[in-house]
Amino acid sequence: MKVRFTKMQGAGNDFVVLDETRGRLQLTPEQYRRLADRHFGIGADQILSVRPSPAPGVDFEYVIHNADGGEVEQCGNGARCFARYVRDKGLTGSDTIRVQTLSGVIEPRIGADGRVTVDMGAPIFALPQVPFDAAGLSPHTDGGWEKWTLALGTNADSPKVQVAVLSMGNPHAVQEVADVDTAPVREMGPKIEHHPRFPNRVNAGFMQVLDRSRVKLRVWERGAGETLACGTGACAAVVAGIRLGRLDNRVDVQTHGGVLTIEWRPGANVLMTGPAVTVFEGEMEL
Residue 269 annotated as lining a ligand binding site = no
H-helix or E-strand containing 255? Answer: strand 250-255
Nearest approach, Cβ of residue 78 and ligand LBFN2T5F (Å): 6
Tell me if residue 12 falls in helix, strand or coil. coil
Question: In what helix (H) or strand (E) does residue 279 lie, and over which residues does it extend?
Answer: strand 277-285
Q: Which is nearer to ligand LBFN2T5F, 245 or 278 (CB)?
A: 278
Distance CA 10, CA 227 (A): 11
Applying CB under 6 A, which residues contact ligand LBFN2T5F?
A: 13, 45-46, 66, 72, 75-78, 170, 203, 221-224, 227, 230-232
Active-site residue, from 230, 235, 240, 270: 230
| 170 marked ligand binding residue | yes
User: Cα(125)–Cα(205) distance, rounded to whole angstroms?
Assistant: 16
Query: Is 223 labelled a binding residue?
Result: no
Q: Which is nearer to ligand LBFN2T5F, 67 or 177 (CB)?
A: 67
Query: Measured from the CB of residue 81, what is the shortest distance to ligand LBFN2T5F in angstroms?
Result: 9
In angstroms, what is the minimal distance from the CB of 197 to ligand LBFN2T5F? 16
Q: Is 114 annotated as a binding residue?
A: no
Q: Are strands 160-167 and 171-176 parallel, antiparallel or unpaired?
A: antiparallel
Q: How far is the CB of 187 from ligand LBFN2T5F (least distance, A)?
A: 19
Q: What is the DSSP string of 177-226?
A: -S-TTTS-HHHHHHHHHT-TT-TT--EEEEEEEEETTEEEEEEEETTTEE
Q: Name the active-site residue from 17, 35, 75, 202.
A: 75
Q: Is 76 annotated as a binding residue?
A: yes
Using alpha carbons only, how large is the chain's radius of gyration in Å?
18
**75 counts as catalytic:** yes
User: Toward ligand LBFN2T5F, which CB reaches closer, 38 or 160?
Assistant: 38
CB of 75 to ligand LBFN2T5F, least distance (A): 4
Nearer CB in complex with ligand LBFN2T5F: 73/142: 73
Burial class for 24, CB neighbours closer than 10 Å (0-12, 13-18, 19+): exposed
Q: Is 81 a catalytic residue?
A: no
| 76 vs 108 by CB, closer to ligand LBFN2T5F | 76
Total residues belonging to the chain: 286
> Which of 77, 51, 75 lies closest to 62 in space, CA to CA?
51
76, 110, 171 from 10: Cα distances, Å: 9, 13, 20
Among candidate residues 42, 79, 73, the one with its CA nearest the CA of residue 87: 79
The annotation status of 13 as a binding-site residue, yes or no, is: yes
Q: Which residues are catalytic?
A: 75, 230
Residue list for the binding site: 13, 46, 66, 76-77, 170, 203, 221-222, 231-232
List, as residue ranges, the binding site for substrate.
13, 46, 66, 76-77, 170, 203, 221-222, 231-232
